[in-house]
Amino acid sequence: MAEQVNQRIENMINELEQMRRTNLYEDDEIKEISRKRKEFEYRIQRRLKAKDDFVHYIAYELALLEDIALRRKQAKLTEKKHDIEYSIAKRLNKVFKQFILRFQNDIEIYFEYIKFCMSVGFDYAVSNIIAQMIQFHGDKPKVWQLASKWESKEQDNLENARSFLLKGIHRHPESEMLYIELFETELLMACKAESDEEKEKLIKRASVVWKNGMNNISKLSYLFSICDLSMKFAFEESITNEIKAEIWSRQEEKDVWCYIAQKELEGYHWTEIEEFINFENNLPNEINNYMGVYEEALTKFPDEKLCTKYIHNLLSVNESLCTETQKIFAVKQAWNYGHENGLLSNEMYAFGISLLKLEDEIPKDEFAEILDAALVKNPQATSVWEEKLLLNISNESKMLSILQEAGKVLKPDESLHLWNVMLDNVESNVVLQKCQVQFQRCENALILSLKPKLLQKIYRHNGLKAAREMYENFIRVPPTQVEVHKTMISIEKSQENPSIKNIRKCYECLLQHHGKDNTEIWTDYIDFENQNGSAQNTPAIYRRAVATLNKEIVDEFIKAQALARLKL
């Protein structure tokens, strides 16, 4: 092995010498290149060869080629390319061959080898690589497609491309990809036909291809792809019409309607859909056709997702197709259709309501009717409940009634969002008191999590005394959240002359409810006494904490306190 490696290194001497003579690299850089190559050569010559050894060697040499190109450009050097770059490319070619020979089951190596050959101008070698790849990987349709693309795109040989595809289909008669590729190749050949007779023959052959494919492939995606290609080659309408008729014959499938509607926007028309079109809309034909198709589809398949797709696609209509005003009109029509037929999702209700509010043209009573109708059809539409709350912002009692009604049909987390909206907007003391009563009766933990927010709201509106009264009411009816106590402590501390007695009382209540499993609140209490209360009280609080906390977290508390004392 050593002799073989040394021989390879000797073969590189001229190349390295030319690098030195052209001043592309310094002596120490050339030594490093030689060292790295020797290391890589030993690795790929080992008895047990690893894929990564080849990968790293190839990556190193490709990076070196890029670096040489950059240095040549900077120094404006052109000489000795054959002795340097061509020499590297030839060696890389040998490494790739060795790599494939050792790991011929790895198809990715072939792809990388082909890319390398094309990048360095070894196009003549690609056909042999593809033949070798087919020999070992003919069980993969992608290989036949690659071979066909090479012949058609790079070699401009459509006959050879067609031959590869026919052989591939013979081995993979259910390959959608190969049938589509063959159909396109036949149409390309028809484009280049030298006589009308030959063109007609090739068009008939293309027709046979897509029909044969349909016998083996039942997926709609195949038909859609074939139709797209046929429309792209607009020189022959007979095939396109045949395919369109086949697609229309499958109208019992939802995706057919989506495809036809999209094609109508692109200007490809199905005459069969004209009975569904509302010609009274002052809109371009393409959009009228699109809307007619989708609304008929939604009659057959009443589905929220389909309705959402209907509206989304209208929103993305190209501005060259209609004016912005026409687009908004069409979107509103589509939204109203979904609303009237109970097909709008929560997302679409939120969007439509935002659109209506943005235009600010709809009367309040009419807007309320839309919201109520929406909730009848979709009582779980959180965004609609929210709009109904905000619509009644001047009637806070009505807001509370709406909340109670929504709570009967919404999930707890959705109700929580509405309660937050309510508290953010309510100003009446009477309603705030009603909220307090509501919370006291409620057993849902999510809704109870709003107690701190309500306490803060009461303090801002009615002052400290009202906040203390509400806090007292809260702690009488457990459970109480840690945040309720912390909010009250924060309120007490914010006073111009804080009451140490009341703050201690809050801490004691907090410890009584949560002192077993929360070390932080004990630490906060100790810090408060050290900084604002009486430091003499802290040893007693510390001993109580150690005695009260659950065994598994006592050590955590003791360590934290020890560290705190060291910092002091």
pLDDT recorded at residue 477: 74
Burial of 206 (C-beta count, 10 Å sphere; 0-12/13-18/19+):
buried
Residue corresponding to tokens 């912002």: 393
- 296: tokens are 């008929």
Over residues 537-558, mean pLDDT: 87
Classify each residue of 214-242 as buried b or exposed e, where b means 16 or more C-beta atoms within 10 Å of its C-beta: beebeeeebbbbbbebbbebeebeebbee
Handedness of CA 119, 120, 123, 129 (dihedral sign): negative
Rounded average pLDDT over 179-198: 91
Report d(CA 64, CA 516) in Å as an integer: 66
Contact 329, 364 (CB under 8 A): no
Higher pLDDT, 334 or 114: 334
Average pLDDT taken over every residue of the chain: 85
Q: What is the DSSP letter of 537?
A: G
Mind listing the pLDDT tens digit for each residue in 255-291?
A: 999 999 999 999 999 999 999 988 777 899 999 999 9
CA pair distance 291, 337, nearest whole angstrom: 10
pLDDT at 539 over 60: yes
What is the average pLDDT across 364-368? 81
CA distance 132 to 126: 10
* pLDDT score, position 444: 55
Residue 408 three-state SS = coil
113-127, 206-220, 270-284, 435-449 — most confident range: 206-220
| 320-334 residue pLDDT tens | 898 988 998 999 999
> Which alpha helices (H) appear in 273-345, and where do they start and end?
285-300, 304-315, 324-340
Share of the chain above pLDDT 70, in %: 93
> Is 235 a residue whose pLDDT tops 70?
no
**Residue range 420-478, pLDDT digits in tens:** 887 777 766 666 666 666 665 555 555 667 788 888 888 888 888 988 988 888 888 77
More confident residue, 171 or 105: 171
pLDDT exceeding 90 applies to what percent of the chain?
27
Q: pLDDT-derived band of residue 140, with 50, 70 and 90 as boundaries? A: confident
pLDDT given at position 363:
78
What tens digit of pLDDT does each residue of 39-98 get?
Answer: 888 888 877 778 888 888 888 888 888 888 888 888 888 777 887 888 888 888 888 888
Q: How far apart are CA 493 and CA 525, in angstroms?
A: 13
**pLDDT for residue 23 is more than 70:** yes
Q: Which long-range contacts (CB under 8 A, 24 or more apart) does 145-153 make?
A: 145/177, 145/178, 145/181, 146/111, 146/114, 148/181, 148/185, 149/181, 150/114, 150/126, 152/185, 152/188
What integer pLDDT is reported at residue 458 of this predicted model? 81
Residue spans of alpha helices (H) in 378-481: 382-391, 396-407, 412-425, 429-441, 445-448, 451-462, 464-476
What is the CB neighbour count within 10 angstroms for residue 200?
A: 13
CB 448 within 8 A of CB 415: no
pLDDT band with cut points at 50, 70 and 90 for residue 376 = confident
For residue 568 the two structure tokens come to 């002091």
How far is 393 from 364, CA to CA, in rounded Å? 12
Average pLDDT over residues 7-26: 81
- What is the model's pLDDT at position 170? 93
pTM value > 0.75? no
